[in-house]
Structure 1
């Protein structure tokens, strides 16, 4: 069972809405397609929402990202690895979660904390990562949401992972279909040899 803790009361940028939307897209499939995403259905979350592309095991980059992510980083994050928001000490564990996101596939939920510093108030936040299929059918895309509570102050802001939850998608791992073996040639059945009587006069 996938469970999300509630966000701030009255906060329209609720990661539970993204999860509910993604679950509604499954329609009997374990993982929806990237092409199924309709931004109009998650309009209230768009500034915090992003699309990831898997580029290597444990590594994914932003394809699309909302304005609030650019505000946290101080620049456009498109093309950057999603691990840019994680402090170096937590990136190895985060890479393991990303690998499971695409390979099992699984959902990933993170509780985040960014310590206070000069010109930087303490920030808490939540990140949700949900797997998607590409147009080719492989699980190499993900939709996600990063919601930070409060103003970022001096940027860039990076986070420690206070809690990480990785849950396999219901239905188990995605089946990998192997090519069907080539059919064996059917042997030609030959009857017993015929004897022919040859006479000479």
Structure 2
């Protein structure tokens, strides 16, 4: 698939999937979060083909059919911010709506979006791999849930690292949608064994950090006029007023 054709999972007739059709998880039984994340990382490593970061065009939905319900592809749109170009059925069920075009931070509560933005930016900037542990609080018609997210960097058709392949797996009953999560733990990993990592830090402008505020400096005070002290100075302050022509209407 090309980045331009992200709205279609594959061409008509390929594996029986047509344009615009929702692809469900194949009947392979219920897979655990550990299995899905391990398989997704293994697939990403397999399409690297000796490169540090694989290309977006290398991703084939047919090859990740077992993880497809939980998979997504992101496009970086600003520092620390990315939107969904493709998303599986599990993510749609969590939000209770179509999620293509949504920012990925929509799955997190407001208090966790800053830290998540920091982690996400390192995936594109380093680049590196990130895994996030999430927790959904219980509430009315919403049972408590745990979730895990994996983020893997991809190169766009232009060669820059502005795409990401990932998966989100929530355990338990979804209940009333939308479901949003708190970030409880995160970890980053180098794309090459033994490589260095870029620790997430709130140094990027975006969701991670408020833009600096600018305060207007006070205007300088005008110097006070010195009072007239001598008669000559006081006379210089008087102004001669001459009467104007008489108003005929007053006669």
What TM-score range do you get, normalising by the shorter chain?
0.7 to 0.9
Are residue 97 (structure 1) and residue 119 (structure 2) matched? yes
Q: 1:71 aligns with which of 83, 93, 96?
A: 93
**Greater fraction strand:** 1
In structure 1, C-alpha distance between the alignment counterparts of 2:48 and 2:74, rounded to whole Å: 18
- The structure 1 residue matched to 2:108, chosen from 75, 80, 86, is 86
Q: Partner residue of 1:197? A: none
Q: Distance in 1 between matches of 2:187 and 2:59?
A: 24
Q: Which runs of 5+ in 1 are unaligned?
A: 1-8, 174-201
TM-score under structure 2 length normalisation? 0.63
Deviation at 1:137, TM superposition (A): 0.5
Q: Deviations over 1:50-87 (max 9, x none)?
A: 00000001000000001110110011111010000011
Alignment RMSD (CA, Å): 1.6
Aligned length: 165
Superposed CA offset, 1:28-66 (max 9, x none):
111000000111111011111000000001000000001
- 1:84 and 1:115 map into 2 onto residues whose CA distance is 16
- Structure 1 runs (4+) deviating above 4 angstroms are none
Alpha-carbon shift at residue 161 of structure 1 (Å) = 1.1
SS in 1 for 2:175: coil
Alignment match of 1:121 (pick from 143, 148, 163): 143
| 2:11 is aligned with 1:11 | no
For 2:74 and 2:31, the matched residues in 1 are separated by: 24
**Normalising to structure 1: TM-score of the pair?**
0.78
SS of match in other structure, 1:26: coil
Compute the displacement of 1:168 (Å): 2.8
Q: Distance in 1 between matches of 2:196 and 2:65?
A: 30
Q: Secondary structure at the match of 1:117?
A: coil
**Which of the residues 181, 185, 210 maps onto 1:159?**
181
CA-to-partner distance for each residue in 1:79-112, whole Å, 9 max, x for gaps? Answer: 0100000111111111111110101001110111
For CA contacts below 8 A with separation 6 or more, give which structure has more relative contact order: 1
Aligned to 1:42: 64
- Counterpart-to-counterpart distance in 1, 2:49 and 2:196: 16
CA displacement at 1:11 relative to structure 2: 1.7
Deviation at 1:138, TM superposition (A): 0.4
